[in-house]
Structure 1
């Protein structure tokens, strides 16, 4: 019998789908930060490095590729959240380098609140995409709301609740990203994402 090789994945426009990269980068970084928020370990360089290199740079790269694919939603979401992670690391590191003062709780509420509003707006675009993305963006909107509430009140229990909710949000993004890979590689729906009709 002659050995056969698996059929290559056909990419219609010659550019691979960057969405799984962006979703996994967002999801994995979100899970790790929120394990910290849930109180399991202290903020450390592992989270900061993920925020810079995977949550940050990988998502920006995914967004740029989405622009080449003429996907405005992917461009806007991935580049924005990539720079969110980079700016969040900047907020943590810059004061330690003497580049300005540490943001107050009020400033963090404004920062997280505007990102929550942005996410809420993008959620409405997901209503034309699929159920998995709807869940990611809905749960991310809730996460930002809980983080604002936690900073506004200083309540550790609310911050821990936000951490658990953030773990769910991050896992949903990882699932959606892996579903994109698996469904494309196998040429059929292996992991359902709830396609909108």
Structure 2
């Protein structure tokens, strides 16, 4: 009689960490964008340590799992958060001039284009990730349009849409975690597309 043993790679799934780091930081920034509170050290610290560093760590672990999509997404958005904090803090420290509105439009637009391209990769993944990336494309578009037009109402709308985007990432991260812990679907994420 032959016994077949399943061997796991011994590396934990980093996606829940990366998604929760992205989602929680996104929600907090967009609560600010919606006008609830001012830009403050809580948002900047989340951008550096959880949205930034935790996502970069998740991306590096995805590389060890041979997941190019996860590596690219988590590492890129981790460095997005670090660069965004840099854009806010560096001028206050006198290290560089603050970006002009047109520069921020370019920054947000290139991130929106990058996100759109990654969205096409999610079409081979689950519905929850499709929603996260699709809503993130919309968020970057609204932020860029708001900066381009100077229309504060568009910026506020972006804040509410960003809360939805961030919440969807938190949901997806927690769903992946709980589904793995319980060995069954506790929170659905939609079918994986082939």
TM-score band by shorter chain is: over 0.9
Aligned residue for 1:123, secondary structure, equals helix
Aligned residue in 2 for 1:3: none
User: Which of 136, 141, 144 does residue 148 from structure 1 map onto?
Assistant: 144
CA distance in 1, matches of 2:152, 2:114: 25
* Residue 177 (structure 1) aligns with: 173
| Mapping 1:178-197, distance limit 5 Å | 178-197=174-193
Using the size of structure 2 for normalisation, the TM-score is 0.95
Displacement of 1:196 after TM fit? 2.5
Residue 121 of structure 2 is aligned to residue 163 of structure 1: no
SS, match of residue 182 in structure 1: helix
C-alpha separation in 2, matches of 1:62 and 1:50 = 16
1:114 aligns with 2:105: no
Deviation at 1:11, TM superposition (A): 8.0
The reply on whether 1:73 has 2:62 as its aligned counterpart is no
What residue in structure 2 maps to residue 82 of structure 1? Answer: 78
Task: Give the match for residue 55 of structure 1.
Answer: 51
Aligned residues: 188
| Structure 2 counterpart of 1:16 | 12
Distance across 1 between alignment mates of 2:51 and 2:137: 17
Residues of 2 paired with 1:167 and 1:92: CA distance? Answer: 20
- Post-superposition shift, 1:192? 0.4
User: Any runs of at least 4 consecutive aligned residues in structure 1 with deviations exceeding 4 A, and if so which?
Assistant: none
Aligned partner of 2:3 in structure 1 is none
CA drift at 1:12: 1.5
Cα distance, 1:100 vs. partner?
Answer: 1.1
Residue 101, structure 1, aligned to residue 91, structure 2? no
User: Over residues 88-115 of structure 1, what are the superposed CA-to-partner deviations in whole Å (9 max), with x where a residue is unaligned?
Assistant: 0000000111111000000000000000
Distance 1:12 1:187 in 2: 15
Unpaired segments of 5 or more residues in structure 1? 1-9
TM-score scaled by structure 1? Answer: 0.94
